[in-house]
Chain A
Amino acid sequence: MRDRLTIGTFRASALTIILTLAGILVFLVREGIPALTKKPFEGLRFAVHPSNPVQKLSADQCRALFQKNLAWPDVGGPHTPVLPIHLYNLERYVGSQATPEKIKAFLDSVAQVTGILVALPPTWLPTSLRPIRVEWSAWEALFGSTRWSPTYEPLPEVGLWPLLLGSLWVALLGLLITIPLGVAMAIYVAEFLPRTLYYPMKVLWEVVAGLPSVVVGFWGLVVLVPWLQKSFHLTTGETALTAALLLGWMTIPLMASLSEEALSNVPRLLVEASYGLGATPWQTILRVKIPAIRSSLLTATLLSAGRILGETMIVLIVSGNAPVLPTSPLSPVRTLPATLAAELGEAPVGSYHYHTLFFLGLILFLLTLAINILAYAITPAEKKT
């Protein structure tokens, strides 16, 4: 009886692991998918003057009209300047303490202007205006644009590419640091380090890997950022390279310990055969051992990439956070996790912005999941514990 209770309890707690992963997936999907199905302007109606022949606008056209980057004739409208009115510029016209009556009177008066374009809640819409349709394709907004300004009113821009490519760019640069240095350290520890120093070296790795990332980011901000700025004569030292240097450094222990383990487990037979043929220690390392652990090195690389892709605080603090497409190692970038950390706190629960951020989270989750499963799949069967 007690046996069944013990084992049953243990099994139940093991199942929480399945629940956790399923839960993460379910909640990210539940909160993220509305970014594909909802429109950012669900509570708003767009309308124009009745004499305006325009019937429908694409989201980009409409946004450009609001920003006055396009004029009415460009979209087949009248030859008059655009007068954009929406919830966020209304205040400029009527003051912040306007009564509903005053707002209504103001709206009714501007409704006479031929070039008017409004985006307002249905109840506020002056009855004399004619509603138009604004087309929104979530797919195009997310993947067809390279601009990220998710809080722009009334039509946000949620192009994912700057963030996605920013993440990949930082990960790539970080790996360029992590892989060679990590492998070099693994070789030193596995081949040349005196045994008495083996354990202290492992502890050193553990300490580096365990440093709080916010502290490393802070150090980078006060030491590395000014230094890079000075030595490369940059306008700002907050660049993709800054983040990659710190991230790469923090990920070296992971790369090194996985590679070291693999190096130490190369079959003795191979090593002795190599020495027997007259190979030197380094010839053996470079021509026999490294080729023998290729798949382990790939696993280590994948896991390191996953770690770098998911790291949040360092990037948030030192990478400049500019959501633009990265063009060089010295350009500022913004990554997926940094965007989540910076913006989710300000996005109202249930808003379009909130759902878009969860959609980003879903992408990040699936990306790291794929990397981890791939790493697991290429690990030789006998090493899966």
Chain B
Amino acid sequence: MKRLIAMIALMTPAAFGLAMADTPRQMGDAYGAAAGAGYQASAPRGADFYARRFGVSEKMASCTACHTDKPAQPGEHVITGKAIKPLAPGANAERFTDPAKVEKWFRRNCREVVGRECTPGEKADFIAFVAEGR
């Protein structure tokens, strides 16, 4: 019995870790649900948001400034020149699998580029567009 409890205790962090890993679809669904009952995420709306020139930051006027016109392509940080892996999950399987990381970057980049936090609906649309992988 003791051994069984020990085994369960050992397995729990692993099981928890697995539960933490999400798919882009699950993450998009979660943001969609947070946007309100009946919200339908839209890839075309996400595409428009992705390409829109907010102009809040001179160098980072839009998402495309660092991530290029196509989320499936590698990007480059517009100030430091550091390579950025593609946003599209089809080109980079790590994307949109870690909710905390996704939320952190939405928070940072939305403030920087959009000038405010993004809404759950905008995030759901963004993921719907990026997950198309073009």
Q: Is B one of A's binding partners?
A: no
Binding site for B on A (CB under 8 A): none
Binding site for A on B (CB under 8 A): none
